[in-house]
Chain A
Amino acid sequence: MLGAIFGFSLANGSETENQLETVTNDEQMVERALSGDPEAFGEIVRRWERRIFALAFGMLGREEDARDATQETFLAAFRNLRGFRGEAKVSSWLHRIAVNQCITRQRRAKVRGETALEDEAEKNAAVFALPMDISPARTAEKVERSIAVRRAVGSLPPDLRQVVVMKEFEELTFQQISDVLELPLSTVKSRLYTALRQLQLRLQKFGK
């Protein structure tokens, strides 16, 4: 089912004709964009921006960074549109670009000594983002928990983090993650298993 919207071919081959049609549409859009249709690439962006943003947010942990990374992803995709040979699906291609963008950003941030951990302003923002009908104690608890989860995810090595984010944020199947990252299915599963174990330890460490 997911293969249709994300353009992956599922192992069990349960895609319907409509879904296959949607799969070709992404590739058609790229062809149209290559032939000079200015709106075709805009359509690709519209289709994928939310999911790429979710991926970037999960990877980077900050909305601003995620927005920048999403923008850079689509810019890089547009610049390299001619390099897209259609061997992979558009979705896999975009995800790969996004993952690379996120990793590059994190490396740069590390070099500059920045961290994606929360500061006071972010904490306040998280408090205001919660519904008003929740009691202050519950709000504080939720905020603390969110921060702890973000810290835990942020502290995972990139190869584990990207699997967790794709699974938890985008709800991709193991097969889809395997296609995007070009990894064997068993590697994806073992990485997720390791990531979940590490997350559990880190959440303990952060007191949650």
Chain B
Amino acid sequence: MRNTNERPICHRAEDLVTYLYSEASEADTKDFAAHLQHCDACRSEFGVFQQVHESIVGWRNEALGQGFIPATVAVETKVDSTHLVQHQRKLSAVAAVREFFNVSPLWLRLATGFALLLLCMLGVLVISNSLKQRHRQEQFEAAVKEQVEQRIAQTPRPQAAPESIQGTNSATQNNSSTAVVINRPPAFASHVQPRSTRQRGLSRQEREQLAKDLQLIPRDEDELPLALSDEPNQ
């Protein structure tokens, strides 16, 4: 850069910077362009300032990268960013999936697709199996019900209800097959006794006797059989 320390300063310094950064109105631009033609000081300074400006922009681009968007570029978007953000939040899951498929390589996309297909097939299999099982169970239940109804229909009705309740062997033995459903089974009936005829619990004396009889280890150590000799091994 040329040494311009001693150059004269024009009174239109403010107009010069406005012109330099292209912020002057059309009329002012024309006016200052005409002024530059005959003002050596302004022309000289304009050239120098342009170099300085370019140097700073060069440094800025190196430091912040070419991707840095200054205000003038950012304003071109003119987007209501509040709405944009809300929209993005709503579609975040979809956007994430889309982003994933955009970013990921082909093999990963294929693998994901295959995995999804397998997952779907597995789901279909599980659902169909459960449906089949339910169908079988229903069929089985229907068959059992049918058989039971048939047997009930074949079996003559019991004469008296109290007999069947008491579980008399004569009635149940003759109709053992129907007793399962209608009457109590003989085995069960034999165990079930009327409250009045049930055996009373053991008396205290009987319990003690029983405990004594069942006691395998004697209380006194002296009563223990001599299994081992007290004498040390020789």
A residues near B (Cβ < 8 Å) are 1-2, 4-6, 16, 18-19, 21-22, 25, 28-29, 43, 47, 50-51, 53-54, 57-58, 63, 126, 129-130, 142, 145-146, 148-150, 153, 164, 167-174, 186, 189-190, 192-193, 196-197, 199-201, 203-204, 208
Residues of B within 8 A of A51 (CB): 71
Q: With A145-B55, A149-B59 as known contacts, state yes or no: A22 contacts B3, CB within 8 Å.
A: no
Specify which chain A residues have a CB less than 8 angstroms from the CB of B4 in the assembled complex: 200
Among the stretches B62-70, B116-124, B143-151, B218-226, the one at the interface with A is B62-70
With A4-B75, A6-B71, A50-B69 as known contacts, state yes or no: A150 contacts B59, CB within 8 Å: yes
Contacts of B80 in A (CB 8 A): 18, 21-22, 25
Q: A50-B69, A146-B63 are in contact. Are A43 and B85 (CB under 8 A)?
A: yes
Given contacts A43-B85, A50-B69, A189-B13, 14 further A-B contacts (CB under 8 A): A1-B72, A1-B75, A5-B74, A29-B82, A43-B82, A54-B70, A145-B58, A146-B59, A149-B59, A168-B60, A169-B64, A174-B23, A189-B17, A189-B18
- CB-based contact A168/B63 at 8 Å: no
Stretch at the interface among B46-54, B152-160, B175-183: B46-54
Cβ A126 vs Cβ B56 within 8 A: no
Contacts from B to A (Cβ < 8 Å) = 1, 3-5, 13-14, 16-18, 21, 23, 45, 48-49, 51-53, 55-60, 62-64, 68-72, 74-75, 78-82, 85
Chain B's closest residue to A32 (CB) is B82
Residues of B within 8 A of A130 (CB): 62
Q: Interface of chain A, helix or strand or loop or mixed? A: helix
Chain B residues near A25 (CB-CB < 8 A): 80-82
CB-based A-B contact count at 8 angstroms: 116
CB of A193 within 8 A of CB of B13, answer: yes
Rounded to whole angstroms, the CA-CA distance of A171 and B48 in the bound complex is: 19
Residues in chain B near residue A193, CB distance under 8 A: 13-14, 16-17
Distance, CA A196 to CA B48, complexed state (A): 9
Complex Cα–Cα for A58 and B68 (A): 13
Nearest first, the 6 closest Cβ-Cβ pairs linking A and B are A171-B70, A189-B14, A149-B59, A168-B56, A5-B75, A193-B13
